[in-house]
Amino acid sequence: MECKKYNVAVLAGDGIGPEVCEAGRQVMQAAAEKDGHIAFTFTDHPWGCTYYKETGRMMPEDGLEILKNYDAILLGAVGRPDVPDHISLRGLLLTIRQGFDQYVNLRPVKLLKGAPCPLKDVKREDIDMIFVRENSEGEYAGKGVLEADRAEQVGVFTRKGCERIIHYAFELAVREGRHRVTSISKGNALNYSMVFWDKIFAEVAKDYPQIETRSLLVDAASMFMVKDPGRFDVVVCSNLFGDILTDLGAAIAGGMGLSAGANINPERRFPSMFEPIHGSAPDIAGQGISNPMATVWACSQMMDYFGRPDLGKKMLDAVEAVLEEGTVLTPDLGGSAKTDDVTRAIINKL
C-alpha cells in the first residue's frame, strides 16, 4: 500500500485553541507513524484575535484563497474578551464555514466509556446520537438590520439549503445502519422558516421509507434529551437549534472537553474543517489544563473524511481507553492532569 500524504492547515486561534490543536496534531502524527500508509504536513496560520489587533482583520483578505489548497483544516477556537464576539467569530469561523460551503456540521453526541454523565438512570448506550446541523444559512445567514431603536435578524432558509442537509441526514442513517431521523422544529412559533423546514422534511422523508421519522419542537427536544436521550438517533436541525442542542449534548456526554464537530463540504469542492465544539475558554486559558479529547475526536473525524475510518476509530478508542482508566484526566473531568499529560496518555494507548 502506498503512503497517502495530506496537507492540513492549522488555525489554532485564541485562548486554549493552540494547546488543544497541538494535542490533536501530535496524536495524528503518532497515529500516522504507527500506520505507515498515511502522512500529514501541518501548516500554521496565526490568525485570530492577536492578528485582528495588529491588522484589523481576523484573517487576511485572501484567507480563503490560501486555505482552499489544503486537504483539510484543523481549527482550535476563536474569541477573546477584548474583541467583540460577533466580529471575531464572523470574521473567521463563519466566513470559512459559509465561504467553503461546509453546509454539514456533523456532531456526535456519544457517551464514551469512562466519561461522566450527570443524568441518572440512563444507560450508556442510550446516549449515542449524531447531530446533522445545517451550517451555511438559517439563523446564522448574517442578514438583518441594526438601528438605534430596532434590530431585525433574518433567518434565510432556501429549498436547496434545507433539502441538501435533510438528504444528508437520511443518507447518513442509511450508511451507518441507523433507524430513525428526528427533525427539530419550531413551526408553532416560527411561522415562516420552520413551516418551510417541516414541509421539506416531510417531502425528503418520502424517499426513505425504511427510515423511521420523528419531528420534535425544539423546546420539547431539549427536555427529552435530558429525560429520555435514548429516543434520539440521527438528528437534523437548523444552524441555531443545532448550536444550542449540541452544547446540551456535550453536557450529557462528558462535557465541552469531549465534544467534536466536522464542518463538511460533501462535494469536496472545498476543504472541510474539523474542530472541538467548545470555544476559547478564557477562564482557563494559559494554564495548560484544557481537555484535548474533543480536538482529538475532531481529528478522528478527519480520518473518516480522508477515507481511513479504521484510523479514526483507533484514535477514538485511545481516548476512550484513557477515560476508562481514569488516572490521567484534566480538571473538567475531575482529574489534575495537564493537557500534555492527557495527550501523551492518548498516544500511549494508540
104, 263 contact by CB (below 8 A): yes
243 lies in the binding site for Mn ion (CB under 5 A): yes
242 binds ligand NAD (CB under 6 A): no
Q: How many other C-beta atoms are found inside a 10 Å radius of the C-beta of residue 107?
A: 26
CA distances from 223 to 70, 174, 269, 285 (A): 41, 27, 38, 32
Which residue has cell 431585525? 152
Interacting span for Mn ion (CB under 5 A) from 77-85, 123-131, 219-227, 236-244: 236-244
Question: Where on the chain is the footprint of ligand IPM (CB under 6 A)?
Answer: 89, 93-94, 243, 277
Min. distance of Cβ 93 from Mn ion in angstroms? 10
Query: Which of 19/233 has CB closer to ligand NAD?
Result: 19
Residue 254 binding result from Mn ion, ligand NAD, ligand IPM, none, given CB thresholds of 5 to 8 Å by partner type: none
Which positions ≥6 away from 219 have C-beta within 8 Å? Answer: 186
When binding is defined by CB under 6 A, the residue of 63, 257, 271, 312 that contacts ligand NAD is 257
Supply the minimum distance, in Å, between the C-beta of residue 261 and ligand NAD. 8
Does residue number 312 form part of the binding site for ligand NAD (CB under 6 A)?
no
Question: Is 114:103 a contact under the CB 8 Å cutoff?
Answer: no
Bridge-partner residues for 6, per DSSP?
40
323 neighbors 334 (Cβ within 8 angstroms): no
CB of 336 to Mn ion, least distance (A): 28
The Cα-based distances of 181 to 173, 212, 250 in angstroms read: 7, 6, 20
Q: Given the complex with ligand IPM, which of 277 and 346 has the nearer CB atom?
A: 277
Q: Shortest CA distance to 342 belongs to which of 322, 312, 320? A: 322
Site for ligand NAD in 28-87 (CB under 6 A): 77-79, 85
Stretch that binds Mn ion, among 13-21, 146-154, 243-251, 268-276 (CB under 5 A): 243-251
Which of residues 6 and 103 has its CB atom nearest to ligand IPM in the complex? 103
User: Quick one: what does residue 280 bind among ligand NAD, Mn ion, ligand IPM, none, with the CB cut-off 5 to 8 Å set by partner type?
Assistant: ligand NAD
From the centroid of its chain, how far is CA 21?
Answer: 14
Q: How far is the CB of 126 from ligand NAD (least distance, A)?
A: 24
Furthest C-alpha separation in the chain: 65
Cβ closest to ligand NAD, residue 78 vs residue 194: 78
Among 97, 107, 133, 278, which residue interacts with ligand NAD (rule: CB under 6 A)?
Answer: 278
Question: How far is residue 298's CA from residue 167's CA, in Å, rounded to a whole number?
Answer: 23
Is residue 89 within the footprint of ligand NAD (CB under 6 A)? yes
Q: State the sign of the Cα–Cα–Cα–Cα dihedral 50, 56, 57, 60.
A: negative
Can you give the binding site for ligand NAD, defined by CB under 6 A? 16, 20, 77-79, 85, 89, 93, 256-257, 275, 278-284, 290-291, 294, 332
